[in-house]
Amino acid sequence: MRFLFVADPMESFKIHKDTTFVMMREAQARGHEIWVCEPQDLSWQQGQRVTAMARRIRLTGEAQGQSKSQVSWFEAEAAQPQALADFDAVLMRKDPPFDMEFFYTTHLLTQAEREGARVLNSPKALREHPEKLAILEFPEWIGPTLVTRDEKAIRAFHAEHKDIILKPLDGMGGMGIFRVGPDGMNLGSIIETLNQEGATSVMVQRYLPEIVDGDKRVLLIGGKPVPYCLARIPQGGEVRGNLAAGGRGEARPLTARDRQIGEALGPVLMARGLLLVGVDVIGSCVTEINVTSPTCFQEIQQQTGCNVAALYIDALESYLQTAPKEV
């Protein structure tokens, strides 16, 4: 099969931890062709199909050590125009942020679907599942949560729950997350910073003390939970467990509650074309549903031996064999 990965520049990959890299490696090991492009390489013109200036690549091995060139791990042919509909699958792996250019890219990918391309994760689902707000659909699995622009509502929520977390809706990697305890210290300043005098919506959640045991990333592949999660454990007095914020990753078997959450959400999200989802769980509560470019494959495999990339390519191959291709 021929797979096109729409991703960040290959030269920027940190292959010792990058999930897209191990997806490519597993696909190549099975004999699939690997092609790559960046979102800016996509275009459409009237009378033609959505096209990418794409490069066919071959993985040559893993660069040893960060001092060596990051381009030594692949060889690439010259870029050439390729219609997305001519690939067996187009894998949207552009990392956040979900900005307007990302949004426009999903519309180009939707047009490619009209022309027969099979795109995963579904561009429509990417647009309709913002990673903070997607939890609103599943209130039975989340903790006390408020989404508002209203300062008074935030203050009332704090008065009720005493210990709260505030975060922007467009943040990633733990960016812009604040905790306010019972004393309300700096609550006014934090509200001003996040909601910009009522211009920007903010998510407010009750602080979950179970965070000290980790913010768990539960992966759903093909609608089913992977047997292991990655608990991101805050370090050094930090409230955030995100790896990007210095959290320590610890792979663990799913708890009964983790599996229950995965089995409940997985089929619903898979039916919408979300082949890969990362559900964030603190304690027993879902806090986010990540769909743009979920990660943690390598950390889980390195610590448990579970080949998550193989599970993903298994699910992808199965999906392509059973899902009809539009024409």
The reported pLDDT for the residue numbered 68 is: 44
| Rounded CA separation 172/96 (Å) | 7
pLDDT band for 241, please (50, 70, 90 cuts): low
Taking each helix axis from N to C end, the angle separating 308-322 and 297-304, rounded to the nearest 10 degrees, works out to 120
The reported pLDDT for the residue numbered 69 is: 45
Cα 48 to Cα 38, 52, 82, 117, 284: the distances in Å are 20, 12, 11, 14, 49
- Is the predicted pLDDT of residue 70 greater than 70, yes or no? no
The reported pLDDT for the residue numbered 173 is: 67
- Is the predicted pLDDT of residue 124 greater than 60, yes or no? yes
| Each residue's pLDDT tens digit, 2-61 | 999 999 999 899 999 999 999 999 999 999 999 999 999 999 999 999 999 999 999 997
The reported pLDDT for the residue numbered 67 is: 44
| Rounded CA separation 145/253 (Å) | 27
Q: What is the DSSP string of 276-302?
A: EEEEEEETTEEEEEE-SS---HHHHHH
pLDDT band for 323, please (50, 70, 90 cuts): confident
Helix, strand, coil shares of the chain, percent, nearest 5, are 35, 25, 40
Active site residues: 132, 167, 217, 232, 240, 280, 288, 290
The reported pLDDT for the residue numbered 247 is: 77
Q: Which two tokens stand for residue 257?
A: 């509650």
Backbone angles phi, psi at 209, to 5 degrees: -60, -15
Angle 130-89-107 from CA coordinates, rounded to 5° = 40
Burial of 322 (0-12, 13-18, 19+ CB in 10 A): exposed
- Given a contact cutoff of 8 angstroms between Cβ atoms, the answer to whether 300 and 251 are in contact is yes
pLDDT band for 82, please (50, 70, 90 cuts): very high
Least confident of 157-161, 238-242, 270-274, 291-295: 238-242
pLDDT over 90, % of the chain:
83
Which pTM does this prediction carry?
Answer: 0.92
Least confident of 88-92, 133-137, 172-176, 315-319: 172-176
The reported pLDDT for the residue numbered 283 is: 96
77 DSSP 8-state letter: P
Enclosing H/E stretch for 58: strand 51-59
- Is the predicted pLDDT of residue 235 greater than 90, yes or no? no
| Rounded CA separation 7/181 (Å) | 40
Residue 13, CB-side half-sphere exposure with 13 Å CA sphere: 28
Radius of gyration of the chain (CA): 20
Most confident of 61-65, 230-234, 244-248: 230-234
| Each residue's pLDDT tens digit, 132-180 | 999 999 999 999 999 999 999 999 999 999 999 999 998 776 678 999 9
Q: Which two tokens stand for residue 54?
A: 């794409």
Task: List all residues 6 or more positions away from 268 whose beta carbon is below 8 Å from its beta carbon.
Answer: none
| Rounded CA separation 305/299 (Å) | 10
| Rounded CA separation 98/164 (Å) | 25
Domains of the chain by start residue, with CATH: 2-124 (3.40.50.20), 144-207 (3.30.1490.20), 210-306 (3.30.470.20)
